[in-house]
Amino acid sequence: MSTSTVTPPTRGSRFTAAAANYLDERTSISGAVKELGRKIFPDHWSFMLGEVALYSFVVILLSGTFLTFFFDPSMTEVYYDGEYLPLSGIHMSVAYHSSLDLSFEIRGGLLMRQVHHWAALLFVASIGLHMLRVFFTGAFRKPREINWVIGFVLFVLAMAEGFTGYSLPDDLLSGNGLRIIDGMLKGLPVVGVWISYFLFGGEFPGVEVIPRLYVLHIMLLPAILIVTLALHMVLLIVNKHTQFAGPGRTNENVVGVPILPHFAAKAGGFFFLVFGVIMLIASFFTINPIWNYGPYDPSPVSAGTQPDWYIGFADGALRLAPPNWDVHVFGYTLPFGILVPMIALVGLLVVVAIYPFLEAWITGDKREHHIADRPRNAPTRTAIGAAGVTFYAVMWAAASSDIMATHFMLTMEGVIHTLQALLFVGPVIAFIVTKRICLGLQKKDREIALHGFESGRIVRMPGGAYIEVHEQLDDYERWRLVSFNDYAPLMIRPNAKGRITAGQRMRAALSRWFFEDRIVPPTKGEIEHAKEHGHH
């Protein structure tokens, strides 16, 4: 506060004050602004990945609205009479015709289509990366388990939005994608054919599915997505954001910048940067050139037919299933080549969704955690994550098996067989290697915290011996290295009836597996002792 002069309020600030007062007297908004405006957000680049998802979603909403003005999901059959020569006179649906018109006849239409599609790819990619950040820093632990599940639902909704959108243009590529979904549905025993006929309104492909997917894509799914997103944000505010350990940062506080004005200004700027990146990509790079694919016709399939990247893991799972897995029972066929991949996919998604509860049960940890773990300080969790990422990545890579075969001059069978083996061996290797790396890094941290780091200065002692001088860390740097929780495996305890249940045994075994190999953070005593020792 300045005490020397009191400057009279300017015209502008008088207007602002009056306007704010007017609003507050009618809405009592100052309470909310006071509460939210002083909300603190910690600063770390990886905390902004969720924002990227949010901003690309805004871009998707804007560009998607533009597209709805011109896209017509009708399946009425017409002959193409537009600009694109290699399709002129070709028989097609109005849906495909209007997608082509969007691309060739409507000013800015192609750009908006590309913005929409690129933003969708970025949306799901940033959600994936955001989830990985949350996982590897343990930010899903109490009290944030429910928000993890909500975030997972958002991820699934984003994939559903992507897939329904991908199917709308009714070109060859999207039709092939729908055919695979149809095949997977029909692979389900008993109910499969019923579900397929219900979805497609009769025999595949029919004329019902595109208008139905359109309603899902522009109305139902976005509405659910927005509500879920709002819930996600509310819980984020209620739970507060996690922060990395550092001087002055405890489990009880949040150190960072307040929403108003700093964070809001930065976030607003960041929105336009993300928007700009998407616009640049969309202006210069073709995405989904529907004019190449031609109208959907169930007979042709193009080489290199793949879904968008986020459905790739499902496509890859199907490609990795060995042939000849059909089993015939009482005149029915059980196509295990389709059922097993579907079970694997659903299983993977379920494990991702319930992981916070699994880990809480294994560790028996009921404390609240607001300090994000460094991945190395939870070696088993990090290793599980690495194994999961590997499992997903192998399936994902399998979706491009044909492209790998042609571009790296390999045989298709070689690629598939290698990936089949990697699907099982890869996660195990990733688990072991990641865990060892984490433990090694923890050991190094402990060493540095206690004895400082090697300065590279060699001193010759009077007795002729050489020693390397170790530089001590200052207290701020050391804090970062030593502040993490120590866990120990759970003990088996008899329950109220004096019995040890099988569940208890399993929990204890899992807990032992989780925490058996660990590096204990240095205690205060050890640090003090090392400091004195270092001063000699």
Partner 1 sequence: MAKNPRARTAKKTGRRHPLAAVALIVIGLLSTGGAYAAFSSTATADETGVVSQSTIEEGEKLFAANCATCHGAALQGTQAGPSLHGVGAASVDFQVGTGRMPMAFDGAQAERKPVQFTDEQIEAMAAYVASISPGPAIPDEEYLTGDSDAANGAELFRINCAMCHNVAGAGGALTEGKFAPPLGGVAPEHIYEAMVTGPQNMPVFNDMNLSPADKADIISYLTYVDDNSSPGGFELGSLGPVAEGLFIWIFGLGAVIAITVWLTAKAN
Q: Which helix (H) or strand (E) holds 12?
A: helix 11-27
Q: Cα separation of 353 and 98, whole Å?
A: 39
User: Which residues 6+ apart lie within 8 Å of 272 measured at CB?
Assistant: none
Identity of the residue numbered 469: V
Q: Which is nearer to partner 1, 180 or 492 (CB)?
A: 180
Tokens 């994608």 label which residue? 177
CB 182 within 8 A of CB 200: yes
Per DSSP, the residues of 211-264 read HHHHHIIIIIHHHHHHHHHHHHHHHHHHH---EE-BTTB-TT---SEEIIIIIH
Contact between 78 and partner 1 per CB under 8 A: no
CB 50 within 8 A of CB 130: yes
List binders of partner 1 among 102-141 (CB under 8 A): 103-104, 110, 114, 118, 121-122, 125-126, 129
> What is the three-class DSSP state of 399?
coil
Q: Inter-axis angle of helices 192-200 and 172-187, to 10 degrees?
A: 150
Identity of the residue numbered 332: Y
| Shortest distance (Å) from residue 319 CB to partner 1 | 12
CB 179 within 8 A of CB 204: yes
DSSP letter (8 states) at residue 481: H
Contact between 305 and partner 1 per CB under 8 A: yes
Span from 19-27, 136-144, 299-307, 453-461 in contact with partner 1 (CB under 8 A)? 299-307
Identity of the residue numbered 433: V
Contact between 298 and partner 1 per CB under 8 A: no
Question: How many other CB atoms are found less than 10 A from the CB of residue 297?
Answer: 12
User: Rg (Cα) of the chain, in Å, rounded?
Assistant: 29
Contact between 259 and partner 1 per CB under 8 A: no
Contact between 277 and partner 1 per CB under 8 A: yes
| Shortest distance (Å) from residue 465 CB to partner 1 | 40
Contact between 81 and partner 1 per CB under 8 A: no
Of 141, 359, 375, 362, the closest CA to residue 251 belongs to 141
Q: Which is nearer to partner 1, 278 or 450 (CB)?
A: 278
Contact between 176 and partner 1 per CB under 8 A: no
Q: Cα separation of 403 and 420, whole Å?
A: 17
For 53-143, list the strands marked E by DSSP: 77-79, 91-93
Q: Which is nearer to partner 1, 33 or 160 (CB)?
A: 160
Options 6, 303, 461, 496; binder of partner 1; rule CB under 8 A:
303
Span from 63-71, 186-194, 394-402, 428-436 in contact with partner 1 (CB under 8 A)? 394-402
Convert residues 182-221 into a mask of x (bound to partner 1 by CB under 8 A) and - (unbound). ----------------------------------------
Contact between 286 and partner 1 per CB under 8 A: yes
# binding residues, partner 1 (CB under 8 A): 70
Span from 13-21, 152-160, 287-295, 450-458 in contact with partner 1 (CB under 8 A)? 287-295
List binders of partner 1 among 404-423 (CB under 8 A): 405-406, 409-414
Identity of the residue numbered 365: D
List binders of partner 1 among 20-59 (CB under 8 A): 43-46, 48-49, 52
DSSP letter (8 states) at residue 114: H
Q: Which is nearer to partner 1, 218 or 311 (CB)?
A: 311
Options 131, 154, 172, 386; binder of partner 1; rule CB under 8 A:
172
Q: Which is nearer to partner 1, 396 or 515 (CB)?
A: 396
Contact between 74 and partner 1 per CB under 8 A: no
Binding site for partner 1 (CB under 8 A): 43-46, 48-49, 52, 85-90, 103-104, 110, 114, 118, 121-122, 125-126, 129, 172-173, 266, 269-270, 273-274, 277-278, 281, 283-289, 291-294, 297, 299-309, 312, 399-403, 405-406, 409-414
